Structure formats: C-alpha cells, structure tokens
Homo-oligomer: A and B are copies of this chain.
Amino acid sequence: MITAGELSEIVRGELEGNDEKLVKGISSLDDAAMDTVVYVEKQKDAWKLDRRKPAAVICSRALKLEGHNLIRCKDTRLSFGLAMRYFFPPEEHIGGIHPTAVVEEGAAVAPDASIGAHCFIGAGTGIGAGTVIHPGCHIGQNVSIGKDCLLHPNVTVLDRCKIGERVILHSGCVIGADGFGYVNDDGFQMKVPQVGNVCVEDDVEVGANTTIDRATLGTTRIGRGTKIDNLVQIGHNCNIGENCIICGQVGFSGSCTIGDGVILAGQVGISDHITIGEGAILGGKSGVYENVPEKVFYSGFPARPHRQTMRILSLLEKLPELAAKIDDIAHGDDEQR
C-alpha cells in the first residue's frame, strides 16, 4: 500500500488534497474498483468520476475536477506509465531448465536463467543471467542472448543472431529467417544464400508474429530502445536506428536505413534502399518510395509532407465540384464565342 503523497512523488506530480489517503491499486476509468488511482486524460471524461470514489486522480494541471484527490502532472501519460510500473513491477521468475527442454551440448545457459518446457537451445548459444525463455521457444545455434531478456512462448531466434540485454520478444516473432533474395537465371528464380544475421540491440521490444530477416551478408540491425509492434516485416540488411516506434503491419523492403527516433504509424510500406532521416514521422498507410528528410511529418501515397497530403485530400473531396465548375466555364466560353 502507498499513500497518495508517496505516489505523487513516484509519478512526478504534485498532490492537491489528502496526501495520507491510501491507494490500493490502479484502475481504468471504466472499472469499478474502489480506492485506486485513476487517470483522466480529457475533461469530457471527468463525469465518469462521479460514479466512483477513487483514492487519487492523475490529471493535467488544466483539468477542472472537484471533490477529488488530485495528482497534477506535467505529462499525464508519462505519469500514468510510471504509476502502472509502480503497481505492476516485473514478475519474478525462478531460474532453471525444464526437463522437457532440449539444450544441445555446447550451449551455455546462465544458472539463474529460466528455460521453459519444450524449448530448444542450440549448440554454441549463450543465454544471459536473468533471462526468461518461456515454453516452446526455438533458439538456434551460435545465438547470443544477453541478460534480463524476456522471450514469450513460441518465439523463434535463428542461428547466429545476437540479442542484447533487456530485450522483450513476443510470441510467434521470427528473428533471422532468410532474406528474400533471388536472382533471375533465365526465368528460374535462383536463391541467393542468406548468411548474415540479425542484431537486436538492448531494450528493444519486438511484437507478436513480427518477422526480422537476416542480412544476405553482414547484419540486419535493430537499434537500441526501438519498439516494434505486431506483424511487422523487416527485410534483410535494414538498419533501424535507436528509440524508433514502429506500429503494427509496417513493412520494410531490404536495405533501408532508418534514423533514430523515427515513428512509423500502422501499415506504412517502405521501398528498398530508402533512407528515413532522424526523428521523421510517417502517417498510417504511407507508401515511401523516396528518401525522407529528418524531422518531418510525411503521409500519403506516395509519402509527402503531411500538410501537402491533407491539402490534396481536401481538394480530392472537391473534385466533383471542380469538374462541374470546369464544365460550366467551358460551356460559358462556348456560348460566348
């Protein structure tokens, strides 16, 4: 249990009200739990507080909320995140190798790492201290997985890939499948061996059923701190920067270079050999066929500055009107002549 005052410090807020009030947990606005802290983002949701009695309310300095214990915050989403992390610390895991797991000779599993049922760990592979590998994972040969990683059930990491520290891999993701590389030999598509690897740096998170292909030669890199959502496809030899946010179903062709801090919304597609500058943001479903400068917001098909896309889309809506106007003018001209 924690007091509202203590929680306020943890979430970097300022308390307005009773700092001795005990907070029993955290819950959503739609949830009926009593004596918990809740998070109100928008004024229009404030009425939801009337039905319940929260122990504290995380909110911005601007919100008008009466009769509640308020934790006023500068960045309410950040404060909510900090509160969630306080109430839901990482689960403890007991180390050890499940008797049904197969660990090949020559693999080195740290004593306090945990290997679940039916896992396979290949020869020459190292698993770092504190790393938890859930049931059904396949870790190939000569893989290196750092400390304190969390591999959810049924993850596949293939031969020679390197996973940093504190990496989270979600169920069904495949790290290190062959790149999609063929050469046309008189109409027959001949496979080019894909012998590079994938390097996933520290603090990366990879979503469920996402696929990251190994390089043809060299390395496909996912930079430190980058977060990748579900069902994303990352082609061979891509070089993804640090602290990027890559939303669901985004697809990268081969050999793309993505700067640090890039944000890609859902279903964006990126052509091969494209460079995206640091800090650029791409709107949902964008199709990227040319390099994108740094610190811009692009969208559309093909991707261009978002303002320009919005301008074009708004004119598209008026296209019937425009076409009618042209016909009018042409008709008018005809009459005049």
Contacts and interface: CB of A to CB of B under 8 A. Distances in A.
Interface of A: 26-28, 30-31, 75, 77-78, 80-82, 84-85, 87-88, 98, 100, 102, 116-118, 120, 134-136, 138, 140, 152-154, 156, 158, 168, 170-172, 174, 177-178, 180-185, 187-193, 195, 205, 207-209, 211, 213, 216-218, 225-227, 229-231, 233, 235, 243, 245, 247-249, 251, 253, 261, 266-267, 269, 271, 284-285, 287, 289, 301-302, 304, 308, 311-313, 315-320, 322-323, 325-326, 328-330, 332-333
20 contacts: A78-B183, A78-B190, A87-B193, A118-B136, A120-B136, A138-B154, A153-B156, A154-B174, A172-B172, A187-B243, A189-B243, A207-B211, A208-B211, A233-B249, A253-B266, A267-B267, A316-B316, A318-B323, A326-B329, A332-B333
Number of copies: 3
B248 A88 contact: no
Q: In this complex, which of A81, A218, A227 has the most chain B Cβ atoms within 10 angstroms of its Cβ?
A: A81
Contacts of A267: 251, 267, 269, 287
A126 B31 CA distance: 25
Given A316-B319, A319-B315, A205 B191 contact: yes
A289 B266 CA distance: 12
A241 to B, nearest CB: 12
B271 A284 contact: yes
B140 A118 contact: no
Contacts of A226: 189
Given A30-B218, A31-B218, A284-B269, A322 B325 contact: no
